[in-house]
Chain A
Amino acid sequence: MALALQTFATVRDANAALKAQGTRYLGGGTLVVRAANEGDVAVSGLVRLTDPALSAIAVAAGKIRIGASVTMAAVARHPELGALAKAARAVGGPAVRNMATVGGNLFAPAPYGDFAVALLALDATITTDDGELPIEAFLSGRDSSRAIVTSVGFTLPKADGFRFLKVSRIKPKGVSVLSIAAVIEQAADGTVSSARIALGCMADRPVRAKAAEEALKGKTLDRNGIAPALAAAAEGTTPITDPIASAWYRAEVLPVHLGRLLLS
């Protein structure tokens, strides 16, 4: 059977078509067309959407809403999303960024999905026709998720509040050894009042480093202050092993890179 593409104008119609066996949603194509090219015969039909709302970026009073079809390139060049540009540029090369979408990145298996790591640290809300879900719940249930993601929403962190680091072996661009995103808020005395830290490649999908987050609270961002957080960084993680790095290596270097990110 050939790989047939169906195009729809509304999310509702596309969601209905996705119910057919073997049908997958086509965003930028960097995951699903790749799978088909590699001989994944489980993919027999593709569905795409032309609804322009999915390609919109809305910024109002510090609240951001990014349509699921917005590309990494569009995020990277948006004047009000400067804080996220580094995370968007971490994905692929220029051509991949012109194609890969925010929605698709939520489904990218490790070692891919660097932008979803950023969204997890931002505690984004994922919107589908079925309603809204916190990103953490969305990611843990993504394998059985059938409704098309239409947008992601989050509050823009304060200047310098968002930190992002992608570690790869190839410069300037390579697949992740790991990626780390953090949203850190500090009290007037410089101590950490809240921390959200998200990790890529430390499981098959982005995960929060909750023990490290807890260990940072009330601490100052210096070598001694972050030491307990670094010691707890890999707690509860199940890093992937792939041609880029072993699970052991990823767990060993995570505290080093988290330390650099927190002290930067």
Chain B
Amino acid sequence: MELRKNYFADVRKDDLHEIGQPRPRSDSPGHVTGKTAYFADRNFPGMLHLKMVRSPHHHARIRSIDTSEAERHPGVVRVLTAKDVPHNVYTILILIQIGPEDETVLADGKVRWKGEAVVAVLAETERAAQEAAAKVKVDYEVLPAVFDMEEALKPGAPLVNEYHGQNYYLYDSGECRKVRFGDVEAGFAGADHVLEQSYQSSPIEHAPTETTGCVVAPEGNDRFTCYTNTQAMFFTLDNASIILQMPGSKLHFVGGTVGGGFGGKVDVIVEPIAILGAKLTGRPVSFIYSREEEMQISSPRAAEKVVIKDGVMKDGRIVARKVTGYTDAGAYSRHSPYGAQKGAGHYPGPYTIPNVWIDTYCVYTNRTPSSAMRGFGVTIGDFALEVQMDKLARLIGMDPLEFRFINAYRDGDMKAHRQPTEGAALIECMQEASRAANWPVAEKYMAMSSYRKGA
């Protein structure tokens, strides 16, 4: 590793003690000896196994559920349906006042995506739970489904989620998150070239080697210990407290050791129902996703569509940028209203542009609910922005790296969100990239700095 200290040398005290020093990872000795305790390494006598009966349809009304045969199956201890869940309709971001509650722990009257949890079976063995799950009878009336964001936004599209009332998230700013800066139409009118392109992506699964799950053990005093691989410990504890209508003091969460997360383990899915199972049976409960569930059921990164329209001058200046972003939340919000909002916060990218217009929509479809994954709301946007930058450079016959130097934001520049830029280091990163990639740029760009004295 090489630590370059020549950048910003005059504005930084050179007193780093940790950065630049190799340090052993504190968790590695446990990993290499097999001693690290993941949630599934907890085993309790009498532990029950939870298996979920899931919707085979993308969108359907539930006419009836018959669990009688499953309940009689040898080894089955308890079968749970929506009526067993104290506060069945929830949304995880309610903790930061982002409602409405729009998702069911167990489906109640309707399913909105293929794979939605409908009935939970608790049995002495995994095998017995699987066999009993196959005996649960659910009578569905299949409804028209919508899988495409633009189709979902058209009038007359099937309504995905009644808790929203329309197929998009209604922000306090209206049907989308909006950024308005300067006069984008005037910018296009005065530009030498205007380029409009659209970009889209499919959902991406995190595929951690350890699947999502938890093991819950009753402590014998109305308190429950939940060993979990959640990436959002207190978020999960607080949401479990709401869903189960139990004070947080009754919930003891143990975690922090995650066998790969990448954002895929921030939803509150397995813990509340497993704790409920432990509460109603008085037995320890294990609920672990199969590999197939991990791939099909756990939230992926959202599918996105990004439309970018730019006005650019022959000398390389971008004078106007209009971005319309669409985030496919799937059937429920989870973290997607926040993801779409992050997109609005991230565009127009790390460039200083005088006229900017941004609209980002969080759209509901009958697809698997999407959620967090490594820079969600930003990553696909960056892909779109940087491909667009290359296309613009080609359009005006300019070197793509030099084109970025011309437009890079620097300290003191006013961003479209009306925050002055500070601590930017894009110029320096590109200078270093130019050297490392042996992609030379004109000397005037190598002489630039993000840092402006007095800025």
A–B contact at 8 Å CB threshold (below): yes
Q: Is the interface of B mostly helix, strand, loop or mixed?
A: helix
Q: How would residues 273 to 297 of chain B score, 1 for a CB under 8 Å from any chain A CB and 0 otherwise?
A: 0000000000000000011100000
Binds A, one of B124-132, B356-364, B445-453: B124-132
Contacts of A1 in B (CB 8 A): 74, 127, 131
Residues of the A chain whose Cβ atoms lie less than 8 Å from the Cβ of B51: 39
B292 touches A38 (CB 8 A): yes
Query: How far apart sit A141 and B51, CA to CA, in the bound complex (Å)?
Result: 35
Closest Cβ neighbor of A37 among chain B residues: B290
Give the A-B pair count, Cβ closer than 8 A.
18
Q: In the complex, which residues of chain A have a beta carbon less than 8 angstroms from the beta carbon of B130?
A: 39, 41
Chain B residues with CB below 8 A from A39, complex form = 51, 130, 133, 290
Which A residues, 1 to 54, have Cβ-Cβ distances below 8 Å to chain B?
Answer: 1-3, 37-39, 41
Distance from B296 Cβ to chain A, minimum over Cβ atoms (Å): 11
Q: Is B134 an interface residue (CB 8 A)?
A: yes
- Asked if residues B292 and A2 are in contact (CB atoms below 8 Å), the reply is no
The smallest C-beta distance from A93 to any residue of chain B, in angstroms, reads 14
Chain A interface secondary structure, helix, strand, loop or mixed?
Answer: loop
Which residues of A from 45 to 95 have beta carbons under 8 Å from B? none
Across the interface, which residues of A come within 8 angstroms of B292, CB to CB?
Answer: 38
Which residues of B (103-145) have their CB < 8 Å from a CB of A?
125, 127, 130-131, 133-134
Q: Inside 8 A of B131's CB, which chain A residues have their CB?
A: 1, 41
- Contact between chains at A3 and B127 (CB < 8 Å): yes
* A contact residues around B125 at 8 Å (CB): 2
Task: Name the distance in Å between B95's Cβ and chain A's nearest Cβ.
Answer: 34
Interface size of A in residues (CB-CB distance below 8 Å): 7
Complex CA distance for A1 and B131, rounded to whole angstroms:
8
Q: Is the CB of B134 within 8 A of A38?
A: no
- Considering only residues 283-330 of chain B, those with a C-beta below 8 Å from chain A are 290-292
Query: What residues on A are CB-neighbors of B74 within 8 Å?
Result: 1
- Would you list which residues of chain B between 148 and 200 have a CB under 8 Å from chain A? none
Question: Smallest CB-CB separation from A41: which chain B residue?
Answer: B131
**A96 nearest CB across to chain B (Å):** 15
How many chain B residues sit at the interface, stated as a range, is 10 to 19
Q: How far is the CA of A38 from the CA of B74 in the complex (A)?
A: 20
B290 touches A38 (CB 8 A): yes
Minimum CB–CB distance from A92 to chain B (whole Å) comes to 16
Contacts of A2 in B (CB 8 A): 125, 127
Chain A residues, Cβ within 8 Å of B290: 37-39
- Chain B residues with CB under 8 Å of A3's CB are 127
Which single residue of chain B is at the shortest CB-CB distance from A40?
B130
Q: How far is the CB of A40 from chain B (nearest CB, A)?
A: 9
Min CB–CB distance A95 → chain B (angstroms): 15
C-alpha spacing A193/B161, complex, angstroms: 66
Enumerate chain B residues within 8 angstroms of A37, measured Cβ to Cβ: 290
Given the complex of chains A and B, what is the CA–CA distance between A153 and B19 in angstroms? 64
Q: How far is the CB of A166 from chain B (nearest CB, A)?
A: 23
The CA of A75 and the CA of B51, in the complex, are separated in Å by: 40
Q: Which residues of B contact A38 (CB under 8 A)?
A: 290-292
Question: Which residues 193-208 in A have Cβ within 8 Å of B in the complex?
Answer: none
Chain A 136-155 against B: per-residue CB contact (8 Å), 1 yes, 0 no?
00000000000000000000
Docked Cα-Cα span, A110 to B134, in Å, equals 26
CB distance from B54 to the nearest CB of A (A): 11
Docked Cα-Cα span, A48 to B340, in Å, equals 55
Query: Nearest-CB distance from A205 to chain B (Å)?
Result: 23
With A and B bound together, what is the CA distance between A41 and B75 in angstroms?
Answer: 15
Cα A2 to Cα B51 in complex, Å, equals 16
Chain A nearest Cβ from B242, distance in angstroms: 31
Q: Looking at the assembled complex, report how far the CB atom of A66 sits from the nearest CB atom of chain B, in whole angstroms.
A: 32
- Of chain B, the residue at the smallest CB distance from A42 is B134
Contact mask B41-56 → A, CB, 8 Å, 1/0? 0000000000100000
Cα separation A2 to B291 with both chains bound (whole Å): 21
**Residue of A1, A2, A38, A39 with highest tally of chain B CB at under 10 A:** A39
Distance in angstroms between the alpha carbons of A38 and B295 in the assembled complex? 13
Q: Which of A98-120 contact B (CB under 8 A)?
A: none
Give 18 CB contacts A-B under 8 Å.
A1-B74, A1-B127, A1-B131, A2-B125, A2-B127, A3-B127, A37-B290, A38-B290, A38-B291, A38-B292, A39-B51, A39-B130, A39-B133, A39-B290, A41-B127, A41-B130, A41-B131, A41-B134
With A2-B125, A39-B133 known, 9 other A-B pairs at CB within 8 A are: A1-B74, A1-B131, A3-B127, A38-B290, A38-B291, A39-B51, A39-B290, A41-B130, A41-B134
- Closest 7 pairs (CB-CB, A-B): A39-B130, A41-B131, A41-B134, A41-B130, A2-B127, A38-B292, A38-B290
